[in-house]
A and B are shown apart, each in its own frame.
Chain A
Amino acid sequence: MPYTSNKPQQPPSSAELRARVPGWGVDLDPADRPSVPRERFDPAQTGAHWDLPDQQAENWPRERSIEHQRLTPVFGTSTPPKGLSGAMRKYAYRRFSEARAAHWLILIAADRVDATGSHLRSFLTLHPDNPITETGVLSEFTHNPVSSRVKKGRADLHHNWMDPIIVGGPWILAGSIVLWFGTRTVARLRRH
């Protein structure tokens, strides 16, 4: 009981644990663990042969956190910002520090604008988005969908029903609006 000075339960003996678990206690000494101490000054250890790395070429104005004094010597060049989502991203980086919720909320909003715009643009290409293949839902036919879920007590089943709504909901809504406008327009034209 913790209401006295003794620990309520005593663990099995070291010999018992060593016999039961391969490698038990090989890292027993806290001082002899790879990340101890947390900070250990040893720049020669890393393989770096520079004090400051060469600067990578900046082929477009690279968006960066205003908490940085300068552009970092190396950076990723995947998917440069473009269009409305790109403008939102550049604004979030230029205007707000990482400490501001606005910074992250604008970036999340830009992600949604990017996804919607990319879906729409894909329909003008020879490789349009295909929600059947891209969601991987075909694996439901081959990877035990029923036995993976039924009588398993899985906590995630309480909310997994929302996923198709999150994925397909905006498209159903947009389709319904287009259909509604289309029907109204046709009806008006017929009246005239």
Chain B
Amino acid sequence: MQAMVYRGPYKVRVEEKHRPRIEHPNDAIVRVTIAAICGSDLHLYHGMMPDTRVGMTFGHEFIGVVEEIGSSVQNLKRGDRVMVPFNIYCGSCYFCSRGLYSNCHNVNPNATAVGGIYGYSHTSGGYDGGQSEYVRVPFADVGPTIIPAWMDQDDALMLTDALPTGYFGAQLGDIVEGDTVVVFGAGPVGLFAAKSSWLMGAGRVIVIDHLEYRLAKARSFAQAETFNFTEYADIVVEMKKTTGFLGADVVIDAVGAEADGNLLQHVTAAKLKLQGGSPIALNWAIDSVRKGGTVSVIGAYGPLFSAVKFGDAMNKGLTLRMNQCPVKRQWPRLFEHIQNGYLKPSDIVTHRIPLEHIAEGYHIFSAKLDDCIKPVIEVSAA
């Protein structure tokens, strides 16, 4: 089969690989129809995530058709069209039984601090991902769901990670009616977090980025006010001014490990790999939120330490909330919101790229060419 493979930092190609096989009675093999490149895939692509091995196939956002099932699978059959959450989880461990699906303890021998994620390095369990013609899907009775007949394929794809993560980020903010919510990052997850903040009753939603085309999308897609941080000497002071010097009630970090805005932080983290991530957006969040406010972190960071301003967070009495999103917990409500017309996640898709040109797809997304917001990979086995 054809699959994307990692060849080292900034290099990927399509190779012929062995088709995955059933390795556990509750596995399924899914023939991928479409996949997406996530902003967090760029952390792997740039060599930031420890134990990212040459030859691994990335991709934790994908949908497809069930091709084969293991002997204990009860809920799926061959030919079912399924959407697969980015979390790999057993459904029965201490954490899964309490709804913390992204923190499953039974799927990742490499680390206890993170659950299993498709195609996201051995630090997340060593599973190949879905930027490929076929993918092994563990716990087929737990993770995947049959795509409802009414649902658009691109909407289903956005539901595997980006939309639920943004929606979850807004929930972590504990937004109450009338709150001012600031979202750092106007990528897919930030756009969805901004949109979701309105659903939870925000009185004002502000999105901050340095890419003007993404801020334009934040205005049109998420009805948000926008600030381009490169236009201000100090974006934190600007946030204080625009909130009457109080600070925002809730700030969401939807940027993560490769944040820009401070050259030293960015270079030590993203280029020299001396930090787990560049915490510029997180530090701006801590400084922009009001005392007693909440900072929600859904941007992805590596496991190494990062230079975070915990002193300010402590002195301000902040609540810091964060996690990888337990995707399937969000689905029933998000299905409703899509059916009711409150959310149209596929509106953020900007590029469609055949699997054989995936190296160009990574470069376009990484270099922010051509106003790229969300690239979808068309897999030829579709």
List the interface of chain A (C-beta within 8 A of B).
1-2, 7-12, 14, 17, 20-28, 30, 33-36, 38-43, 45-54, 56-57, 62-65, 67-68, 71-79, 85, 89, 93, 98, 101, 104-105, 107-108, 110-112, 114-116, 118-119, 122, 127, 129-131, 133-140, 143-145, 148, 152-156, 158-160, 162-163, 166-167
Contacts and interface: CB of A to CB of B under 8 A. Distances in A.
Nearest to A23: B342
Contacts of A23: 198-199, 337, 340-343
B155 interface: no
Contact of B305 (A63, A98, A101): A101
30 contacts: A9-B244, A11-B178, A11-B179, A25-B198, A33-B200, A34-B330, A39-B98, A42-B99, A47-B142, A53-B90, A63-B109, A74-B107, A75-B125, A78-B55, A78-B126, A98-B113, A115-B7, A115-B9, A115-B54, A116-B8, A119-B7, A133-B13, A133-B359, A135-B10, A136-B362, A136-B363, A138-B360, A154-B210, A155-B210, A158-B260
B141 interface: yes
Given A118-B55, A162-B267, 19 more contacts: A26-B337, A33-B171, A39-B100, A46-B96, A49-B141, A50-B92, A52-B106, A75-B109, A76-B127, A108-B273, A115-B8, A129-B7, A133-B13, A135-B10, A143-B370, A152-B211, A155-B210, A156-B260, A159-B270
B177 interface: yes
Nearest to A51: B92
A114 B43 CA distance: 17
Nearest to A57: B23
A162 B260 CA distance: 14
Nearest to B222: A21
Nearest to B10: A167
A139 B244 contact: no
A118 B54 contact: yes
A167 B24 CA distance: 39
A81 B86 CA distance: 24
A131 B7 CA distance: 10
Given A34-B171, A134-B359, A67 B112 contact: yes
Most A CB within 10 A of own CB, among B199, B273, B362: B199
Interface string B290-304: 100000000000111
A62 B178 CA distance: 51
Interface string B29-61: 000000000000000000100111111110000
Given A56-B24, A144-B370, A20 B223 contact: yes
B203 interface: yes
Contact of B230 (A9, A72, A104, A155): A155
Nearest to B332: A34
B1 to A, nearest CB: 14
Interface residues of B, number: 120
B359 A111 contact: no
B54 to A, nearest CB: 4
B110 interface: yes
B99 to A, nearest CB: 5
Contacts of B110: 63-65, 93
Contacts of A11: 178-180, 203-204
Nearest to B242: A9
Contact of A28 (B8, B126, B201): B201
Judged by DSSP, the binding face of B is loop
A153 B210 contact: yes
A75 to B, nearest CB: 5
B72 interface: yes
B220 interface: no
A8 to B, nearest CB: 3
B138 interface: yes
B188 interface: no
Contacts of B176: 30
Contacts of B314: none
Contact of B53 (A40, A57, A71, A78): A78
Nearest to B88: A74
B245 A17 contact: no
Given A76-B126, A79-B126, A156-B368, A134 B11 contact: yes
Nearest to B368: A148
Interface in B305-353: 305, 326, 329-330, 332-333, 337, 340-343
A97 B125 CA distance: 16
A118 B8 CA distance: 8
Given A110-B51, A135-B10, A139-B360, A54 B126 contact: no
Contacts of A10: 178
Interface string B173-207: 01111111000000000000000101111011000
Contacts of A17: 198, 203
Most A CB within 10 A of own CB, among B107, B122, B337: B122
A136 B267 contact: no
10 shortest interchain CB distances as A-B pairs: A11-B203, A8-B244, A23-B342, A136-B363, A76-B126, A48-B91, A115-B8, A46-B91, A76-B127, A64-B109
